[in-house]
Every structure is written in structure tokens, then in C-alpha cells.
Structure 1
Amino acid sequence: MKTAALRFAENFAPECGTIAAHKQVLDNLGSVWYGKLGNPMSKAVCDTILGSDDPKILLIHSGHDDRWWLHVDAISRELPPYGSYPEYYGELAYKMRCWLHVCRIEKADPKVMSKCVVASCGKPLSLASRRSMSPYFIIDYQEEAS
């Protein structure tokens, strides 16, 4: 499965943290928008992700071991309605250039990074992410058959 892996940090997050803040909105509304700062993902990448059987994006907590899957059903460059994303975004929401409409958040397997290969270089995400400052990577993720 081809998808993207995004880094995130807690620089602007509330005390409960980025994931918990998004889960609160998700639990209340049934979905939540996750904003990505910096360059937006290309239309081709978005179309590839949304075209998979289970569109999801890997979130990598910078400097920590936490990894999360965001199950998405839409990706937009437009600011979503106020209240459909965590309140802590505040004025920062206007700087987000890519929005992921999340219908489910799940903790990823602790070894997920070793199951991902960066499309541009063919290296495991666990290695490439340590040597790059890139905010996101296009990855191939090989799910294990159940």
C-alpha cells in the first residue's frame, strides 16, 4: 500500500497532547480534521492514498516512539469549518496548507517503521527518517496478511 508518513511534534498542542485533542473531537463529532503545516501533499499523492482500500496515513511523533494511523476519507487544501478540528489550532489553522479528514485514529504497531519503505530512495523509513529533515515521506507499507 502506498501512503504517506508525516512527522508531528507537540510544539502547539494542549497539555493532553496532539492525538488526545484530535480524539476528543473525533469522539464528539464522528470525525476530525488534522492540519498539516508546510508544503501540502501533491494531488497525485492524495489521489493514491484515497484510492486504496483502507486510506490511512502514518503519523510519526518526532523524538518519541509513538506512531499512529490516521484513517482518512478526504484530503483538502481548504480550511475546514471551525469546531471540526481541535480548538488549540487557533490562528495556526489559517497557515495549514493540507487537511486530512480523519474517521479513525489507531496506535500503530511499534515495529511499523521497519515495514515501510521510502518510495524515493528505497530505504526503510526507520533509517531514512533519522537522516532527513523532511516533514513527510511517501512510503510503501507492507501489511502482514492476517
Structure 2
Amino acid sequence: MAKQEKPFHLIVRFADSLFDVGDVVALHNEVVEKKGSVWFGKMGQTISQIRIDKLTQQIAENIPTYLYLVKGNRKKSTAYQAPLLSISRELPTDQALIPPYYTEKDILQFMKVFMKIGKITKIEMKDLNKLQAVSSVYPMSDTLARSSSGYFLVHEKKIKE
């Protein structure tokens, strides 16, 4: 039997300040409260199809998979976590799961990837240190500070006993 790989997760940076939309987390959680899930759109750099396929396969196998959101700059950041339910480069057909501000602010056109998620909860930035970017040897806090990338594919680090 093959050794179980460590599950992959996704870290995405976001900002409340773009397009003057208000509290991005609260606006997404409003949809979750009403509909059970929400699509979170990612602007800018896209995510490779290989990575999308890997996350999709993991989700299909019922392996708990998470989207970690990081808001803010390198000096002061806030972290959040949500269960990742689906991920796609295509505009979702279930428009009721997209927060209204995406249409009101005409920003759907800028979204490169959509992640269907459950409730977003705030976590401590230090909680991200249990994760390791697949493309970095540094702790996640260092990776976030050193890189301007908009997203990171990560896995859980082995905790030393």
C-alpha cells in the first residue's frame, strides 16, 4: 500500500481595500450563512491546472482541504481559514453563491480562479507556521514575507516530537 501523502492546502493573499468593497470576509460569510457555501474569487496570478487538479482530486477523496486567506501587508497581516470544497478557473454557474459585490463592482472579469468554500474563520498568523509552501524551504511566515506571490500551494509540516 502506498504511503499517504501529506494533504495539500492553498494560501491566498487578498485585500479589502481594492474596489472599496468593505469587509471581504463578512461579505463572503453572509452568503455561507444563507446558502451553505460561497465562491471566493482570486484576482491576478492564476493557479496552474496541475495544482487545481491535485486539490480537486484530494477533495473528491474526502481529504480535508483548506483555503487559508492572508489579508494585509508584510508588517501586519491577518489570517483566516475555510474548508475548500471546489476550485476552478471557470466562472461558476451557481451565481447565487457569488457575493453581490462582484457584480455590483464589475470585478468578475478580473477573477482568474474561483474557490468554493465554507465558513471563513479567523486564525492566528502563527497557525500558518504548521504549513510549508511546496516551493520553499523557509517557514511559512518567512515565505510570506519574502515572496510577493498571490498564492502558495502548501502542505502540513511534520511536527517534531
TM-score class, shorter-chain normalisation, is 0.7 to 0.9
Contact 2:78 2:124 in 1 (8 A): no
Match of 1:12 in 2: 19
2:67 is equivalent to residue 57 of structure 1: yes
SS in 2 for 1:46: helix
Superposed, which structure 2 residues align to 1:60-139 within 5 Å? 60-63=70-73, 64-80=76-92, 81-90=94-103, 91-139=106-154
Structure 1 residues 111, 99: closer, same or farther in 2, change over 3 A? same
Whose helix proportion is higher, 1 or 2?
Answer: 2
2:37 is equivalent to residue 25 of structure 1: no
Of 42, 45, 54, 2:48 maps to 42
Could you say which structure has the larger radius of gyration? 2
- In the alignment, structure 1 segments of 5+ residues that lack a partner are none
In structure 1, C-alpha distance between the alignment counterparts of 2:20 and 2:25, rounded to whole Å: 9
Give per-residue Cα distances to partners, 1:19-73, cap 9 Å, x unaligned. Answer: 0000001101111100011232122212332305111111111224321112122
Q: Which amino acid aligns with 1:83?
A: A
Contact 2:67 2:117 in 1 (8 A): no
- In the alignment, structure 2 segments of 5+ residues that lack a partner are 1-6
